[in-house]
Structure 1
Amino acid sequence: MAKVVQFDKTGGPEVLELREVEVGEPGPGELRIQVHAIGLNRAEVMYREGAYFYPPTHPSGLGYEAAGLVEAVGDQVTGFAVGDPVSVLPAFLQTEYGTYGEHVLIPATAAVARDPGLAPEQAAAVWMAHLTAYGALVERHRTQPGDHVLVTAASGSVGLASIQTAQRLGAVAIATTRTPDKKERLLAAGAAHVIVTEDEDLPSRVRDITEGKGVQTVLDPVAGPGVDTLAEAVSPGGRLLVYGALDPRPTPLPNAKSFPALSTRTYTVFEITTDPARLARGVAFVDAGLKTGAVAPAIDTTFDLADIADAHRHMEGNSQLGKIVVTVPH
């Protein structure tokens, strides 16, 4: 038996319950993991609320990321042995697997070897954020040295990872934040410029920073009507990638009469994690950064598994800078 977080209906953090369940043995292609730390993501909040791109099936577990040890290996699995330290990547549906628990089953394709010297809390804060940034800035369209990259809602874990990735590629990261509270911390995190959107006109500031050229890439997890304003900041032939839906309002296609030609598309990390070749390249890119220190996961706050509802409330408060991590005592 293991303590696992489940919920029976969509709603607020209070629907999350810590239950004793029988995890069982891994099936073909699966691993059973003893979980030491869990990385929280906005996707899990939306899934719990019933606002994600697929609905939960009840009772439902949840969670995309974790770090721990392999404790059982299913048939047809190679490359892993009992006792191996691993991280869990977002490469499955939460209707099928989840990471919120003391012991969980995962597909072996969603596991990656973890350097034993990397603490579980750090390892659980890496992969969703940095593979998302890798896919957007490297795999889909190789960002060039000197390019300007606009990162909106930059204080989240993907925003910080995007700043680090832009730096590794020699690009200039421009971060946005709604209020001035996080400006200095974003500059310290590596942003070359920070635009405080409640005080500054974003397109004007971008034109000033880029000498009128605009940015080559926008990474936006917000969506909604604000994409029209973002489109004004894009250089001709640039691109606007929307990878989230923090604003639930409809997202318009930027008006071609008002803006220079640009490419707009939605993007998700699953484009990387469900393609073996892309995933191998992404893991190599992130691993190299971990070894050199260029990838440095930022942890905002840690919670105990028993306080999972409070961890979700903290995420909903939008005050964090970096990753919220839940630790699992054994």
Structure 2
Amino acid sequence: MTTRHFSRLALVAATSFLLVTPALAETLRLGTVVSAPHPWIDAAEAFKASVEEATDGRVNVQIFPGGQLGNDQTMVDEIRIGTTDMLIGGVMNISPYVSDFEIFSLNYLFEDMDDFKAATAPDSAVFEYFDNAVSDAGVGLKLLSLTGGGTRNLSTNTGPVTEPSDMNGVRMRVTGSRLDAETWQSVGALTTSLPWTEIYTGLQTGVVGAFESTISGYYSSRLYEVAPYHAKTEHQVMMSHISISENRFNRFSEEDQAIILEAAQQAGVLGTDKGVEYDAELIQEFEDLGVTVTEVDKQAFIDAVVPLHNSFAEERGLTELLETIRNL
């Protein structure tokens, strides 16, 4: 057989391969520190389904729950070097990179869930503010959506909490936010910053005796096993974010960028709604898990921390943003 015949056969084979083999899909690696059941997992799965359907499989989303890709700070670093693409997490854990997110450490910032939903809407002044803040920070992230994750409560292994004085001298885990630490120090807690993935061990070993989290986070990470006292402080609605590598996002076509953005915004709405749903459902199971749930003197907690709102905003030049949130 001549070289010319070999060339023709090779061409036919290559053509046949291209006809029967679809183009390789682009893959987005999406990480989060929590495990199901959790609103962030539901948001991730909804995002995956929407993107893959709208792109006819041209873009594939791989979800890595349970801190498989590391804690939030690690994932941000991985996104910056290009080994991870997306992150769903709490905004407090990226406040070291975008410090204005610390405003959401202010306890009792939102009067109710309607105010929270108004703040996280993609056309809100709050979202626009943080979209710009993330871009200006030069951290390599693009904010796609603000979302919820449920209401945050206080949990301990030191005994029931019903009023602020019960936290006096208790070693408490907080995020990397300085304001988060100051907020709980105002009720007498001794604060220590720990990644979410280290809370269980920290409680086991006595490094901390208290932490605050959403109900779903407390449940899905089985933290009730090492912190069986759960106080309904309801001090925050969990402000969370869905973000993507800025470089990765910019490599997509305008059409696919629009698909990714819309899918993330829809997933954000779902995450907020699922947070409310899980709050109501999961807390009903706590008694069977051996958890003692206590009501608290909420007004006493409010009185202890609300004076921090104005002073924090003035210090950071965020008074206008604080007023925007208050006026929602």
* TM-score in same-fold range (> 0.5): no
Give 1 or 2: higher helix fraction: 2
TM-score, with length taken from structure 1: 0.29
TM-score, with length taken from structure 2: 0.30
Give 1 or 2: higher strand fraction: 1
Which entry has the higher C-alpha Rg, 1 or 2? 2
Structure with more relative contact order (C-alpha pairs < 8 Å, separation 6 or more): 2
